[in-house]
Every structure is written in C-alpha cells, then in structure tokens.
Amino acid sequence: MIPIKNRKKSLEITVEEMRNFSLSYIEKYSPSKQQLKTYLLKKYLKIKVQNVNKKNVVDLIDIVLKDLEKSKFINDKFYSNSKAKSLIQRGSSINKIRNYLFVKGIRNEFINETIDQIKENNEDQDFFSAIKLCKKRRIGPSREENNRPLFYKKDIGVLARSGFDFETSKRVMDLKKDDYLKIINLL
C-alpha cells in the first residue's frame, strides 16, 4: 500500500510538470486555450501516472489553464485578433476566418468581436481578400485576357471554396485588368 504522502507528492509534481509543459508549448506555438487543453490531455493520457485517475488529470489541467489565464499567458481574445490579422494578410475570407477560429475552440463572443472589428476597419474586406487570393493563385483578373473565359467556372469555384460569396466572386472576376492592377498597387 502506498502512503498518502507519496500520493500527494506525485500530484504536486504532476502540476509542476504540467505547468512546465504548458509554458514550453505556449512559447513554441502560442495556442488558444482549447488547443493547450487538448495538448495536455493527450500528453497526460499517454503517460501512466501512478495513483492519478483521468478525472484528477482533467481537474489539474483546468487549474493550470486558469492559472495561465490569470497570469495572461493564454488569452483567447488576443489569439482571435492576431490570427484574424494574419489570415487577412493571406487573403482569407471572413467566413474562413470565422470557421478557423471556431475550430480552434475560441468562444463565439470573441469571434464576433473580431469579425465586427474587421468589418469596422474595412467594410469590403472580402473583396480585397479575394483580390489578394487571385494574385496569389494567379486566377481571375490576374490571368491572361484570352484565358479568362476558359477558366471562369474554375476560378469562381476556387473563390467559393475559399469562403467568398457569389456576389463578391463575380465582382472580382468581372474586374478589368487595368482596375485590377490599380487595386493591387494599393494593397
């Protein structure tokens, strides 16, 4: 039979290890709260810690996450804003940004705040993101004029799969080459 002292000591070591694993993971990847929780669950369900059941591990993970949130190592609002900015720079649509943040476990209130902030800064963000995507993928108005009618459906499909609505896609596809080049120079 294992004495109670050793059992308590192993739990304390587990909490310290969990903090260390969390901090190293945060330093390397800057994850959302849900991503960190998933990482820690996977890590500690693989490791067989004596005298600790799964419920205790989940409780310890919650304690560590609350502590990291208090000390501002994890902040889902900041994560949401920073990821949205980087996705906008890549030419992602607002729908794609919303879906990405939802998959990463960000709460709806933070997602809605981020999307509202994007729309405040630029009311037609999807249009400019679609143009960035066209430049990056060399589709639509960045194609040669002779090939544009041949690839129209394909290019509309690429934009649709990227999360752009039909009206935005059609607007971008109907741009003249001169207008497209002017907009690209502004971006």
pLDDT of residue 9: 47
Per-residue pLDDT reduced to its tens digit, 144-173 = 989 899 999 999 999 999 999 999 999 999
pLDDT over 70 percentage in the chain: 90
Contact residues for 57 (Cβ-Cβ < 8 A; gap 6+):
14, 41, 44, 45, 49
Amino acid 23: pLDDT: 93
CA-angle at 48, arms to 64 and 29, nearest 5°: 45
pLDDT digits (tens, 9 = 90+) for 80-103: 999 999 999 998 999 999 999 999
Average pLDDT, the chain: 88
**Does the structure show a pLDDT above 60 at 12?**
no
For the segment 37-51, the average pLDDT, to the nearest whole number, is: 77
What's the DSSP call for residue 149? T
Choose between 58 and 104: higher pLDDT.
104
Burial annotation 36-58 (CB, 10 A radius, 16+ → b, else e): bbebbeebbeeeebeebeeeebe
d(CA 6, CA 136): 59
Residues 45-85: tens digit of each pLDDT: 776 656 667 787 888 889 999 999 999 999 999 999 999 99
Give the per-residue pLDDT at 3: 47
| Tokens 């997602």 found at | 111
